[in-house]
Structure 1
Amino acid sequence: MPPSRALIYPSHVPANARTDVPRPSQFGITDFEELVIPTNDGEKLSAFYIRGPRGGRNANITVLMFHGNAGNIGHRLPIARMLVNTIGCNVFMLEYRGYGLSTGTPDESGLVLDAQTALDYLRDRAETRAHRLVVYGQSLGGAVSVRLVARNQEAGDIMGLVLENTFLSMRKLIPSVIPPARYLTLLCHQVWPSESVLPNINKVPVLFLSGLQDEIVPPHHMRQLYEICAAPSKIWKPLPGGDHNSSVLEEGYFEAISDFVADCAYNNPAAKEKR
């Protein structure tokens, strides 16, 4: 992987992140599946499907979860467990190519394809094809989520989008993370242009979770995304003490997601049949 790309996709951080992937059972999760999903360009993606309480009121809601640019899906299992316990939904965690146990090398076009592969899997799987879906992305995962929802909102099965501490574009983020690189931003081929894609989302409500102490993505990125969002409804949830990686620990974080999902479910009570 080119050095510049390794800065954007540090899949080797923390140490052993490509080989040491915590499993759901280590966090007391018992009803889950470990999956390997093929992409149409030949990669094999690792994934977890975690079931919520069977027969519960949100048993037909699945959160499709995309993590940030370091670590692996196993490191986010405490978040998935909280989503299951708080909302009673199912959670599908996809591992990007070149991360964790997935094959391949990460890049923008590849991760876009990986996200579509995950959504198509849920749409095709008998258990989930009639589920209402909430797409949830943190940091880089937010950019992945924006691209996915913009492309798939017409189908009617995505009822909500949750974005946490994501950025306007990679080119606008790099100067604040690596100041000497600000002169090289035009050479960055990993664009992730959320600021130009997000306004195209006009059929799916959006929740913005912004850690106001974020030291990686300046909080004004999230605020500008909120301002340009043209969704049918949008919610701004500031997390005053939250930094880039600790926002999930802030009071009200999961309650905000739970309330958002409840509102989306109330306003869109029935999932549309698969096309």
Structure 2
Amino acid sequence: MLLTLPILLYGAAGCVLFTQQDAMLFPRQYTNPRPGVTPPAGAESVFVSAADGARIEGWFAAGAGCTAESPGPAVLYCHGNAELIDDNTDYLRAYAARGVSVLLIEYPGYGRCTGTPSQASITDAGVSHYDALAARPEVDPARIVLHGKSLGGGVAAQILARRPAAAVVLESTFTSVASFAGDYYMPEFLVRHPFRTDQILRESKAPLLLFHGRDDEIIPVSHGRALAALRPDAECVETAGRHNDYPPDPAAYWSRIEQFLAAHVRP
């Protein structure tokens, strides 16, 4: 009996983790639809259709000076798990002002999108958005950058596994979702959406810039360091900052991104 009780408790905990992991990874109570919300001035809503028929939104803004006659670089931006594209207009404005077109992509089941979020459905939607972005006349398809934050870094890596990128920017990103199973004393095979960022980056040749806050309480900085260690050419910029107040110094953050873009996607 003394041995049976811990086994039962462990099994019960495993069942809770398995059944609740979607709610933990995709906490849509924070990402409810916001009817009537529209893109900021200078941006437009774009939509792609998922394989299951879901309609997935994105917000696009052309970079300053980017035209059909003079296409330029573009960023496909993937946000974190508890936010919407609505919450990331700063990225839209900042990239566009720097002469880089930008597409913020939404996830299935988030905001005004139909469908259900999963590693597979989010990746498929991201790839569809990538293809639509690459086909735009203002965009040079050879100069598309993937930028992901938190869960979005895992999404960006999944897209990278299926489409080329001129460069990759990841911030506050995990090595994998599967790696957190050990924190709950659970085997990795219970994780339905493993998002193995580490495996993809190890094989990728795309230039890689990582940002991570040393005070990140959700995805520890050790994850950023581990990802950087996979690639001798990768750079990991560590600063003060917690997970949800990053970057602490926006001016320095954007200055480093500008340098990175100048080295890899500027003509």
Q: Taking structure 1 as the reference length, what is the TM-score of the superposition?
A: 0.82
Q: 1:71 aligns with which of 50, 70, 83?
A: 83
CA–CA distance in 1 between the matches of 2:123 and 2:103? Answer: 16
Alignment of 1:50-129 (within 5 A): 50-54=61-65, 60-85=72-97, 87-128=98-139
Higher deviation after alignment, 126-135 or 162-171: 126-135
Please give the secondary structure, in 2, of the residue aligned with 1:260.
Answer: helix
User: Is it true that 1:259 corresponds to 2:249 in the alignment?
Assistant: no
User: Would the alpha carbon gap of residues 220 and 21 (structure 1) be closer, same or farther in structure 2, given more than 3 Å must change?
Assistant: farther
Please give the secondary structure, in 2, of the residue aligned with 1:24.
Answer: coil
Q: Number of residue pairs matched?
A: 247
Root-mean-square deviation (CA, aligned residues, Å) is 2.3
Q: What's the counterpart of residue 161 of structure 1?
A: 168
CA–CA distance in 2 between the matches of 1:118 and 1:55? Answer: 19
The structural deviation recorded for 1:130 is: 4.2
Give CA deviations for 1:223-244 in whole Å, capped at 9, x if unaligned.
00100126xx4222112x2211
What residue identity is the alignment partner of 1:244? H
The answer to whether the 8 Å contact 1:11/1:99 transfers is: yes
CA–CA distance in 2 between the matches of 1:61 and 1:168? Answer: 27
Please give the secondary structure, in 1, of the residue aligned with 2:265.
Answer: helix
Q: 1:228 aligns with which of 215, 227, 230?
A: 230
CA–CA distance in 2 between the matches of 1:195 and 1:72? Answer: 25
Identity of matched residues, % = 27
User: Would the alpha carbon gap of residues 55 and 110 (structure 1) be closer, same or farther in structure 2, given more than 3 Å must change?
Assistant: closer
Alignment of 1:167-206 (within 5 A): 167-174=174-181, 176=183, 181-183=184-186, 185-202=188-205, 204-206=206-208
CA–CA distance in 2 between the matches of 1:37 and 1:81? Answer: 22
The answer to whether the 8 Å contact 2:119/2:193 transfers is: yes
The structural deviation recorded for 1:187 is: 1.6
User: Would the alpha carbon gap of residues 21 and 182 (structure 1) be closer, same or farther in structure 2, given more than 3 Å must change?
Assistant: farther
User: Is it true that 1:24 corresponds to 2:29 in the alignment?
Assistant: no
User: Would the alpha carbon gap of residues 116 and 162 (structure 1) be closer, same or farther in structure 2, given more than 3 Å must change?
Assistant: same
User: Would the alpha carbon gap of residues 221 and 81 (structure 1) be closer, same or farther in structure 2, given more than 3 Å must change?
Assistant: same
User: Would the alpha carbon gap of residues 224 and 7 (structure 1) be closer, same or farther in structure 2, given more than 3 Å must change?
Assistant: same
Note the residue ranges of structure 2 that are not aligned, 5 or more in a row. 1-18
Please give the secondary structure, in 2, of the residue aligned with 1:169.
Answer: coil
What residue identity is the alignment partner of 1:264? H
What residue identity is the alignment partner of 1:71? E
Alignment of 1:42-53 (within 5 A): 42-53=53-64
User: Is it true that 1:8 corresponds to 2:11 in the alignment?
Assistant: no
Note the residue ranges of structure 1 that are not aligned, 5 or more in a row. 270-275
Q: What's the counterpart of residue 7 of structure 2?
A: none
The structural deviation recorded for 1:216 is: 0.3
The structural deviation recorded for 1:185 is: 4.7
The answer to whether the 8 Å contact 1:209/1:237 transfers is: yes
The answer to whether the 8 Å contact 1:170/1:193 transfers is: yes
User: Would the alpha carbon gap of residues 125 and 41 (structure 1) be closer, same or farther in structure 2, given more than 3 Å must change?
Assistant: farther
What residue identity is the alignment partner of 1:52? G
User: Is it true that 1:39 corresponds to 2:56 in the alignment?
Assistant: no
Give CA deviations for 1:184-242 in whole Å, capped at 9, x if unaligned.
6542211111122210102x101011111111001101100100126xx4222112x22
The structural deviation recorded for 1:12 is: 2.3
* Structure of greater Rg: 2
User: Would the alpha carbon gap of residues 9 and 254 (structure 1) be closer, same or farther in structure 2, given more than 3 Å must change?
Assistant: same
Q: What's the counterpart of residue 220 of structure 2?
A: 218
